[in-house]
Amino acid sequence: MNLLKLKEFTQDYLIYLYQPEGRGDWGEILYAFDEEKAEITKRASENSTWHDNHAIVKVEECVKKKNLPLELTNAWY
């Protein structure tokens, strides 16, 4: 599970913070609109590659759907 919060939004990019399992320091994901992809710019302290990948996919999905919530919980099983 990841918690995500929209930190910054401009015409060129957006930044979401993500926190795996609701613990530790937040990481950052940058989505560049011209490249149409998201990338981790700062890894969260309590993370794994699994959490990173889910956070990236969720941010890309939100952009594709043109639905950018201020906060969301991304859970999977």
Taking only the tens of pLDDT, the chain with its 77 residues reads 999 999 999 999 999 999 999 999 999 999 999 999 999 999 999 878 899 999 999 999 999 999 999 999 999 88
Cα–Cα distance measured from residue 48 to residue 30, given in angstroms and rounded to the nearest whole number? 18
What is the secondary structure of 20-68 as a DSSP string?
ETT-SS-EEEEEETTTTEEEEEE--TT--HHHHHHHHHHHHHHHHTT--
Q: Give the pLDDT of residue 46.
A: 82
Using a 10 angstrom Cβ sphere, with 0-12 exposed, 13-18 middle and 19 or more buried, the burial of residue 4 is buried
Using a 10 angstrom Cβ sphere, with 0-12 exposed, 13-18 middle and 19 or more buried, the burial of residue 44 is buried
Is the whole-model pTM more than 0.85?
yes
